[in-house]
């Protein structure tokens, strides 16, 4: 059952908050907000989109995403779709053909698979490198100290992949100093290899304010927009 609420109002409030935070470092114009719709149904997404302009949405489950976005309720809405889930090689072709950006590139093997599929369609695919900031074995991503090597390899060997920045997920902690330290590691990689116009996607519903303080320009907000489903 999909429960109605003013989702766009939530979205707009958070966007104002992050722009105010970014304004303190003169970067409010660079901030975008990714509305993570992976747990939302088509009716909820439609209500969000009806409220006003939402530029970027994030999905992590390919099959469910394709089902939702084929709904008649969403046929008139065309936000940029960012894939934020783990990439399975057998689904790479569908991901490339249904998403505008892949945020979870974390190894050369996957990059080579994406390159092969993108070359097949003579298509350039936008990707973010996923950096791992936790010690959880289930957490995807490449370690910050290894990210540079991957970035350089992809740029050298994968002409159909356009690298556009960094995505990372922080540890599940309330310790703000731990969060700041983790976000700084991702920011350091970003500053070395990327610049203005690229994406540093840090922060989710529980830590986005700290992430934006530390330089994130594309926080990913799901539950704070849609409430927990």
Average pLDDT rounded to a whole number, residues 96-120 = 97
- Whether 83 maps to a domain, the answer reads yes
The answer to pTM > 0.85 is yes
Q: Helices (DSSP H) in 79-129: which residue ranges? A: 92-98, 108-120
H or E element at residue 106: none
User: Tens of pLDDT along 4-30?
Assistant: 568 999 999 999 999 999 998 888 878
Q: What angle do CA 132, 159, 124 make, to 5 degrees?
A: 85
Model pLDDT, residue 78: 95
CA dist list (Å): 13 to 89, 149, 155, 200, 221 = 38, 39, 38, 21, 12
- Whether 2 maps to a domain, the answer reads no
CA dist list (Å): 129 to 1, 81, 143 = 35, 16, 11
Model pLDDT, residue 1: 44
CATH number at 216 reads 3.20.20.10
- Whether 200 maps to a domain, the answer reads yes
What is the rounded distance in angstroms from the CA atom of residue 118 to the CA atom of residue 213? 35
H or E element at residue 190: helix 176-193
What is the rounded distance in angstroms from the CA atom of residue 172 to the CA atom of residue 139? 12
- Whether 189 maps to a domain, the answer reads yes
- Please give the structure tokens belonging to residue 6: 């003013």
Model pLDDT, residue 83: 98
Model pLDDT, residue 5: 64
User: Tens of pLDDT along 148-201?
Assistant: 999 999 999 999 999 999 999 999 888 999 999 999 999 999 999 999 999 999
Pairing mode of beta strands 101-105, 80-83: parallel
Which residues form the domain of 119? Answer: 7-226
Model pLDDT, residue 26: 83
- Whether 1 maps to a domain, the answer reads no
Number of domains in the chain: 1
Contacts of residue 202, defined as CB under 8 A and 6 or more positions apart, other chains included, come to 166, 167, 168, 170, 183, 186, 187, 211, 214, 215, 216, 219
């Amino acid at each position: 059952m999909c429960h109605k609420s003013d989702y766009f109002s939530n979205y707009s409030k958070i966007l104002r908050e992050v722009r105010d935070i970014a304004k303190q470092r003169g970067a409010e114009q660079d901030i975008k907000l990714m509305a993570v719709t992976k747990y939302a149904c088509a009716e909820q997404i439609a209500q969000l989109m009806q409220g006003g302009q939402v530029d970027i949405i994030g999905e992590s489950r390919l099959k469910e995403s394709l089902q939702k976005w084929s709904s008649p309720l969403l046929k008139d809405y065309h936000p940029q779709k960012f894939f934020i889930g783990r990439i399975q090689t057998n689904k790479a072709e569908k991901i490339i053909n249904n998403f505008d950006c892949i945020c979870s590139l974390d190894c050369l093997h996957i990059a080579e698979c994406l390159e092969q599929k993108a070359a097949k369609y003579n298509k350039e695919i936008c990707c973010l490198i996923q950096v791992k900031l936790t010690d959880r074995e289930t957490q995807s991503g490449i370690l910050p100290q290894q990210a540079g090597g991957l970035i350089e390899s992809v740029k050298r060997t994968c002409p159909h992949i356009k690298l556009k920045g960094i995505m990372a997920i922080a540890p599940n902690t309330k310790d703000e100093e731990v969060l700041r330290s983790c976000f700084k590691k991702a920011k350091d990689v970003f500053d070395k290899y990327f610049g203005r116009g690229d994406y540093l996607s840090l922060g989710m519903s529980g830590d986005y304010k700290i992430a934006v303080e530390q330089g994130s320009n594309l926080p990913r907000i799901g539950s704070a927009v849609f409430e927990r489903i």
